[in-house]
A and B are shown apart, each in its own frame.
Chain A
Amino acid sequence: DAGVIQSPRHEVTEMGQEVTLRCKPISGHNSLFWYRQTMMRGLELLIYFNNNVPIDDSGMPEDRFSAKMPNASFSTLKIQPSEPRDSAVYFCASSLTPGGAQPQHFGDGTRLSIL
């Protein structure tokens, strides 16, 4: 079975540029999560969707960040304009439901470097 697929795996760009990260969840999973991981702050939840609807975006750092889920098999996280402090590894995860007893299946992440 295919797991969560993220692209690109690595992204290096200059500050001010728009960055789009992509995620394909596991088929049949109704919940999708976007996380950011840094050494200083660990793994932080940015936003999550249930049945393609954003449920909680309180973790989104600021208006430069936006996320969409146009259908059950695709989501994007966009940063515009990007800044050096956005450099991190961004993970997408999916689960059957948002409940904590359900395991979350993570992709391998996108390592983002903003110069």
Chain B
Amino acid sequence: TQLLEQSPQFLSIQEGENLTVYCNSSSVFSSLQWYRQEPGEGPVLLVTVVTGGEVKKLKRLTFQFGDARKDSSLHITAAQPGDTGLYLCAGDDSGGGADGLTFGKGTHLIIQP
């Protein structure tokens, strides 16, 4: 089982600020997914990155997969209260095979109005 470290664990910032959260591992992943989880609900997929160096944008969210496919970052521009939640990264090290995903413990993000 591969280990995914997410940092920071907790982040509280003011509305309008920018932020970056990280997902790191010593292992290579075939693909990596980012999920957002709100209280009382299950995680919801935001994006999947597959290619080393890949950058994907989802409105004010920018996701990057490291060149070596061992790490990823999520950058939020002009954060809004609606961005509040638990951000989870999940890696697939199965090479497309039968293993499930390995999740990080997540970054708890609070955007204060």
The residues of A with any CB-CB pair to B shorter than 8 Å are 4, 33, 35, 41-45, 48, 50, 55-56, 91, 93, 98-101, 103-109
Q: Check if B103 sits within 8 Å of A33, measured CB to CB.
A: no
Count the B residues whose beta carbon is within 8 Å of the partner chain — how many?
Answer: 29
Please indicate the chain A residues that have their CB under 8 angstroms from the CB of B101 in the complex: 45, 100, 104
Contact yes or no, A42 B96, CB < 8 A: no
- State the CA gap A44–B1 with chains docked (Å): 11
**Cα–Cα, bound, A33→B42 (Å):** 13
Which of B18-26, B57-65, B76-84, B87-95 has 4 or more CB atoms under 8 Å from chain A?
Answer: B87-95
Contact A103 B48 (CB under 8 A): yes
Q: How far does the Cβ of A17 sit from chain B's closest Cβ, in whole Å?
A: 24
For residue A106, which residues in chain B have a CB less than 8 angstroms away from its CB?
Answer: 42-44
